[in-house]
Amino acid sequence: MENTLRLEIVTPDRLVLSEDVDYVGAPGFDGEFGILPNHIPFLAALQVGPLHYNADGQTRYVFISGGFAEISDNKVTVLAEAAERAEDIDIDRARQAKERAEQRMSMEMDNVDYARARAALARALHRLKLLES
């Protein structure tokens, strides 16, 4: 029996994280789900939200912009559209993205893509909330 699992978070343009961890909590579509060492093989879709993991007695947070988590052989591979460790989140950028999305959603114009604005707002709000954790 292993005591740790390997967590890798990958986006289309970079490897965000590769670490041995004790626990992963990921944002599934039915709420957060947890992964401990020696978990059975599993594939789950992730929604926009915070992923957290425990390592060295500390809890750390990573923003995930939706994607998939594959668990197999004590390795958790997260394939995300975008992801940032808490310390890499640019708070001003997230605040500006929030304002832009809110402005777009308040416009009553034919050329506004409301679903896109709502998704951008959700990303910005989750990034800002994660910084409060």
Q: Does 89 bind ligand ATP (CB under 6 A)?
A: yes
Say how far apart CA 28 and CA 34 lie, in whole Å.
Answer: 10
Which of 82, 86, 125, 131 binds ligand ATP (CB under 6 A)? It is 82
Q: Does 84 bind ligand ATP (CB under 6 A)?
A: yes
Range in contact with ligand ATP (rule: CB under 6 A) among 30-38, 53-61, 90-98, 106-114: 90-98
Q: Residue 41 carries which DSSP code?
A: P
First to last CA, the chain: 32
Range in contact with ligand ATP (rule: CB under 6 A) among 1-9, 27-35, 38-46, 83-91: 83-91
Which of 17, 24, 35, 97 binds ligand ATP (CB under 6 A)? It is 97
Range in contact with ligand ATP (rule: CB under 6 A) among 1-9, 30-38, 81-89, 106-114: 81-89
Residue 21 pairs in a beta bridge with: 5
Looking from the CA of 46 toward its CB, the CA atoms found within 13 Å total 31
Burial 19-50 (b: 16+ CB within 10 A, else e): eebbbbbbbeeeeeeebeeeeeeeebebbbbb
Give me the residues that bind ligand ATP (CB under 6 A), please: 65, 82, 84, 88-90, 93-94, 97, 120, 123, 127
